[in-house]
Amino acid sequence: MKNEFRQHWYAFKRTLAGMLRHPLTSLLNLLVIAIATAFPLALWLVVASLGDVAGHLPVEPQVTVFLRASVTPGEIQALRALEHSDARIAKHRYVPKEEALKEMQQSSGFGDLLAGLPDNPLPDAIIFTAKENRADQLEALQKELTAKPGVEEVQLDSAWARRLERLISLGRAVFQAVVVLLATALVLITGNTIRMQILTRQEEIEVAKLIGATDSFIRRPFIHFAAAQGLLGGALACAIVWLALRWLNPAVRDLAQAYGQQFELQSPGLMSLGVICAATMCLCLVGSWIAVWRHLRQHQ
C-alpha cells in the first residue's frame, strides 16, 4: 500500500513538472477543456435562473366565465361557491354587466358612444384566479367550467404560461444535447492529447516495458495528467462563467428593473464548482484511459 502511494505521488510530481515545463501548451489545453465545459455550465445556469423566476411570476392566471343572459341566481351562486370547493381556485370576482360596461367606458375612451347604446351588450362575468401558473391545470379548469349550467363561454389566457413552460423545456433539451456533444468532444480531445504524449514518449515506454514495467505503471502518469487537466480545466470553466455573469448581470438587472422586477442570472457556487470539476476530471480520465488502452493493446 505504501509503495503504491509512493508510485502515485511520483507520477503526480512528474505530471506537474511536465505541465510547468510547457506552460503555453498546458494553458492552451486547459483553455480548450474550460471552454468546452463553460458552455453547458452557462446554459444550465441560465435555464435554472429562468425556471426559478417562472415560479414567482407576479402575473395571476385568470379564467373569465361569461354567463348566459338566462342564468339564474342559483347558478351564479353555485359558480361563485367553487372558490371554496375547488382547490385549484384561489379567489374570484363577480362582475355584473352594469359594472363591466362602466369599466369599459372608463378604459376604452368611447364612453359617449357606449352610453348611447339602447341595451347593455355585455354579459355578467365571473373572474376566477387560479393558485398555480400551470397551463395543464388552467386548461382542465376551463373545460370543467364550460360544462357548468348557466355558462355561455370561458376564456383563458394561458398562452403565456404554455410559451414559458415550452421555452424552459426547450432550454433543458438544448442543455442535455449540448452536454452530450461537449462531453463526447472532451473525451476525444483528451484522448488525442494523451495519444500525442504517448507518441512523444514512445521510446521511453518501450524501454520501460523491456525492463518489466507493468501496464498500470505505464498508464499511471497519463492518468494523472488527465486528472490534473480535468480538475484545473473545470475550475477554470467555473471562473470563466463567473466572470461572464459578473459582466452580464448589471445589464440583466437593469432590464428587469425596467419591467418592475428584480432578476439576475445565478452564479456558480461551491456545489457547482465541485460537480463541474468532478465531471470534467472523469471525462478526461475516460479519454486518457481509452487512449492508453488502445496503445497497449496495439503493442502487446
In terms of pLDDT, which residue wins out, 115 or 127? 127
State which residues form the domain around 75: 62-157
Could you tell me if 171 and 284 lie in one domain?
Answer: yes
Instruction: For residue range 268-288, list pLDDT tens digits in order.
Output: 778 878 888 888 889 888 888
Give pLDDT, residue 113.
46
CATH number of the structural domain spanning residue 95? 3.30.70.3040
Could you tell me if 115 and 238 lie in one domain?
Answer: no
Could you tell me if 204 and 291 lie in one domain?
Answer: yes
Strand, coil or helix: what is 299?
coil
Q: Are 54 and 160 in contact (CB under 8 A)?
A: no
Cα torsion angle, 14, 18, 20, 25, sign: negative
The total domain count for the chain is 2
The Cα 215–Cα 289 span in angstroms is 11
Instruction: For residue range 197-209, list pLDDT tens digits in order.
Output: 777 777 766 776 7
Could you tell me if 23 and 42 lie in one domain?
Answer: yes
What mean pLDDT is predicted for residues 78-106?
A: 81
Could you tell me if 192 and 137 lie in one domain?
Answer: no
What mean pLDDT is predicted for residues 121-147?
A: 82
Give pTM, 2 decimals.
Answer: 0.60
- Exposed, middle or buried, 170 (CB in 10 Å: 0-12/13-18/19+)? exposed
Q: What distances in angstroms separate CA 86 from CA 63, 119, 128, 174, one per listed residue?
A: 14, 35, 11, 37
Residue 264, domain member (yes or no): yes
Q: What is the mean pLDDT of the chain?
A: 77
